[in-house]
Structure 1
Amino acid sequence: MAAVDTTVTRDTRARFPITEVRWSTVVAPLVLGALFLLSWELVVDRAEIEPFILPAPSAIWEQVTANTGNIVDGATVTGRNALIGMLAGAVLGVVGAAVAGSFRFVDQMAAPVVAALAVIPIVALAPVLYSMFGAAVNTGRIIVAGVSVAVPVYLNTLRGIRQVKAVHRELMTAYAAGPLQRIRSVTLPTATPYVFTGLRVASSLAVIAALIAEYFGGPIGGLGKSITSSAASSNYPLAWAYVFGSIVLGLLFYVVTLLVELWFSRHHQPA
């Protein structure tokens, strides 16, 4: 009889989606982006659209290359505020979800508060925070970014905690496991993918929130301030160049968060 191969091959594609990316998945978006920019350039040129309505990509790129240093400086300010707010909001969201998942009455009391935070308009929150903490510091911008991050991280983490099966909780109780052992052995492994999902969503929101907060005051510096000042001086290609810097900054936040998630999954996968 022929020998039967009983080796079990583990399929890791779902766990590590980037490790088996095909060239088509990389080339197709690049080709689509190139066609979009080419069409944009042709439409602006043939239709003679004014720059204050829509500048051509070539004009925007000229401003990007001519003002690279200013764009990087603005991205540094906005990125720092977004990063601090993201880290603070993530910690607040995870800790809040852990407490709410452990105590039902906390969950019930926190639900309306979280719902209220989720619908707070940044355009109304930023000026209030500037009046509270002063317009000469970045505290208001950081808080705005933190609030934008805390809500999705809280909701996703709480959903992950609720995915822990009752039989696993009962098993830990039968083994007389302490609270820390339960969190380390059962709760965290189950909730971690949901935490990172919330962080991926929140990473872009942190940049958007920090940008919008810069529109409504605060110290000089940041991409948001640069966009408004360029538009106010009717230099619309330059304003769009700063918008381009904002897009790159948001993508950078998202990619770094995704890479951290993949690294964590690789080094903490179950045996």
Structure 2
Amino acid sequence: MTTATAERLRIIAPIVVGLVFLGVWQLLVGVVGVSDYLLPSPAAIAEEFVAFAPAIADATLVTGTNALIGLVVGTILAVVLAALASRWQAVDGMSAPIVAALAVVPIVALAPVLNSMFGADSQFGRQAIAALASFVPVFVNTLRGLRQTRPVHRDLMRSYAASSSQAFRIVTLPTAAPFLLTGIRIASSLAVISALVAEYFGGPRGGLGSFISTSAATSAYARAWAYVAAAIALGLLFFLATAALERLVLRRISPGGAR
């Protein structure tokens, strides 16, 4: 099998599986007679999606903006703290219990607290939750990557009289980059999920989570699923964007890659 054929199969196979899944779904609802409140048909969901496309687009933009801000802020804080922890043992010892605590913080408990703290008109609580969700995987992966540099490479840089910043840029950062990018890719999906969940618990209206909750509460189940479909598409967009970023960066820093 050629590389081109394998690449085409990687694209075509998920599409075929998705179409088969939708066909079985439509069959279950139309032939077996599954109730709409249990599982609306794909056709009904698509109809609601088209009818409420402007509202869905606006809600997706709100949730996507919150998730993106949280992802960027969480990534920056995680990288800075990981760099400090890899350099100083004291910082590593102090940060370990904090990161462990953040890893187990329940979003459903924290979201209403932050939304109440910052008011019903502020998106900051949702962005903060997305940042916290993004922080942990980026920190853990970045710290692991920063510790992958071999002592012999550090000694080689010292023998060349390289400064600490030069050694970090030439040796440490390229070694840690794959781990950092993996952390960002994982965090991208978590940022969307956490921002979406936070929208269920107060704060300003307008996000996908708010409309999913409202639609389900008013028995507009197909409409709620249309918003769910938009949330899935948003999560996939974040994941694919970070995966593309990972491939681009790794291609540039790999031996023989463009620089």
Same fold per superposition (TM over 0.5): yes
Cα offset for 1:66?
1.0
Cα offset for 1:43?
1.0
Q: Distance in 2 between matches of 1:124 and 1:161?
A: 33
Greater gyration radius: 1
**1:22 and 2:7 equivalent?**
yes
Long gaps (5+) in structure 1:
1-17
Match of 1:160 among 137, 141, 145: 145
Q: Distance in 2 between matches of 1:261 and 1:92?
A: 19
Q: Which residue of 2 aligns with 1:209?
A: 194
Deviations 1:126-157 (A, max 9, x none): 11112221121000000000000010000000
Match of 1:74 among 42, 47, 59: 59
Q: Which residue of 2 aligns with 1:236?
A: 221
Match of 2:128 among 134, 139, 143: 143
**1:133 and 2:129 equivalent?**
no
Residue pair 2:145, 2:179 contacting (<8 A) in 1 also: yes
Residue pair 2:116, 2:202 contacting (<8 A) in 1 also: no
Residue pair 2:145, 2:175 contacting (<8 A) in 1 also: yes
TM-score using structure 2 length: 0.94
Alignment map for 1:1-271 (pairs within 5 Å): 21-271=6-256
Long gaps (5+) in structure 2:
none
Deviations 1:136-189 (A, max 9, x none): 100000000000001000000011111111111122223332221121011100
Please tell me the residue identity of whatever aligns with 2:105: I
Deviations 1:86-114 (A, max 9, x none): 00000011111111011112112111110
Q: Distance in 1 between matches of 2:126 and 2:5?
A: 39
Q: What RMSD over aligned residues (CA atoms) do the two structures have, in Å?
A: 1.5
Q: Distance in 1 between matches of 2:40 and 2:144?
A: 44
Please tell me the residue identity of whatever aligns with 1:243: V
Q: Distance in 2 between matches of 1:143 and 1:67?
A: 29
Per the alignment, in what secondary structure is the counterpart of residue 136 of structure 1?
coil
Richer in helix (by share): 2
Cα offset for 1:20?
8.1
Q: How many residues align?
A: 254
Cα offset for 1:21?
4.9
Identical residues among aligned pairs (%): 52
Cα offset for 1:19?
8.3
**20 and 190 in structure 1: CA distance in 2 versus 1, 3 angstrom threshold:** farther
Per the alignment, in what secondary structure is the counterpart of residue 22 of structure 1?
helix
Please tell me the residue identity of whatever aligns with 2:225: W
